[in-house]
A and B are shown apart, each in its own frame.
Chain A
Amino acid sequence: MAKDPFETAVAAHHAEIHRYVVRLTRRASMAEDLAQETFLRAYRAWRALPEGANVRAWLFAIATNVCRNHFRGEKRRSVAHATVRATGNELDTAGPESETLFNETRTLIEASVERLPLKQRTAFILRKIHELEYEAIGQSLDCSVESARAHVFQALRKIRQSLNGHELP
């Protein structure tokens, strides 16, 4: 079982994909199911994956799709507006007093990331948290490398604007 290449991919990437989904959906409770769905889909498509393909980038693309479908479903059930506020604190980590300003800025950034449109938020998380190449981000968002770059830039610009007038660490 250990030599199975798919099992190897699961072992190598599950935790990271799980974290990505937590961050993207802002709901730890949903994230396990969505990460699971990502890997079940990946398993079904595994044989069609060309040899030498970037498995990590491919898994991120599937996870992004799974989350997008999840958001669409949520929108249809029109409960999306109820979820954001309730979960804002799930990702917060408390720090010692000396780091107050740093943590305040972090909270500010996290809040403005949450307000970004989905594509920009996804692009930002993929680039800045998971350090994916723009090409892989394009693959995830089904857009060109240039558009991926533009989404990341727009995201950063909006986050930067949210820091205008605030004291920085």
Chain B
Amino acid sequence: MTSKHPHCVAIEPDLVAAATGEAGLAVAERVRHHVAHCAPCRGDFTRYRAIEAITGQIRTAPVALDDEAGARARLASRLADVRRRLLMYRIFDSPLGHILIARSEEGVALVEYLGSNSVQASRLTRIADGVELVEDDDQIERLCRELTEFLEGRRVKLDWPLDLRLARGEFDRSVLHVTAGIPYGAVTSYAAVAREIGKPSAVRAVAQALRWNPLPLVIPCHRVIGSSGALTGYAGNKVTLKQRLLSVEGMPTVRSPRDFRIARAATYACDRSEREYCLPTCGSIMRRSLAGLTLFASRERAEAAGLTPCTTCRPDLHPLER
């Protein structure tokens, strides 16, 4: 390769710019003047123009794709598969420590208390059936905000589309479905849920199903308690947390030797087969087990659930004192 004059080396980028139409007026003029007097650079300029013309032709007559429609269809099917398997998650700091929220395109699939743990401790890492995890999602930001409001008592409903793919089976799904219907500021019992799904003897299985509830708080399993009024378990051994969640909803509890229990004398009661709510002193309601009852923290909560005051004990005329 012959060595070029330094001036020619220096002007080559401008030569390219002028040949490809990227040069300003002053640069184009300088190049024009230079090539008029420099034969080697004139040659180079011509070659750059030829390259520009040919790349232009390549651009306007692009390579033919063998089967673009087929490629698109195969991509669409792969995408549909990824969309089905993809879970997007975010971990955020809540008043209860780290909480993980994961969602699919269908809806929220998992809410998990992580305490001080990281995602490695999550149930997500143990899901084997081809679930794909992606961190971060702007939409989850909104869910985190709503969940915080809920935990602070500033929101009574988490009205989220749900994806129950992480539920363990049909039985669990039916338990979760009934539990999702328990209103804010109310409690009922495992036995009542068992009755409602038509399996009155499956009380323990109901408790197990709720233990594996993939959507605590959203599906309010903290509102399901023992028939005696004792709170019993929550999320393993977090019964204190259950008491805290219930008290945010205004549900009165008292400490018992081993547990907490609902202060029944301070709640309104409703027979699950009726549409009226009663004072705790109405008839024999106070002595009945919770297997057939729902308790409400306040008249407002009972009426928000669509119930009317009992026409015998008239809780509307003689409300409980708080």
Residues on A lying within 8 angstroms of B by beta carbon are 10, 14-15, 18-19, 22-23, 28, 32, 35-36, 39-40, 43-44, 47-48, 91, 93, 102, 105-106, 109, 128-131, 153, 156-157, 159-161, 163-164, 168-169
Contact = CB atoms under 8 A, between A and B. Distances in A.
A44 B134 contact: yes
A67 B72 CA distance: 19
B232 to A, nearest CB: 40
Interface of B: 1, 12-13, 16, 43-44, 46-48, 50-51, 53-55, 57-59, 61-63, 65-68, 71-72, 74-76, 78-79, 82-83, 86, 88, 132, 134, 136-139
Given A40-B82, A164-B47, A169-B50, A35 B63 contact: no
Contacts, number: 95
B47 A168 contact: yes
A42 B63 CA distance: 24
Given A91-B63, A106-B58, A153-B16, A32 B79 contact: no
A148 B152 CA distance: 52
B11 to A, nearest CB: 12
Nearest to B105: A4
Given A23-B63, A91-B63, A160 B51 contact: yes
Contact of B50 (A48, A105, A130, A131): A105
Given A129-B55, A169-B50, A160 B44 contact: yes
6 contacts: A18-B71, A28-B66, A35-B75, A36-B78, A43-B83, A164-B43
Which 4 A-B residue pairings sit nearest by Cβ, starting from the closest? Answer: A128-B55, A163-B47, A168-B50, A160-B47
B72 A14 contact: yes
Contacts of A44: 82, 86, 132, 134
Nearest to A1: B76
A47 B86 CA distance: 12
B59 A129 contact: yes
A36 B71 CA distance: 8
A15 B72 CA distance: 9
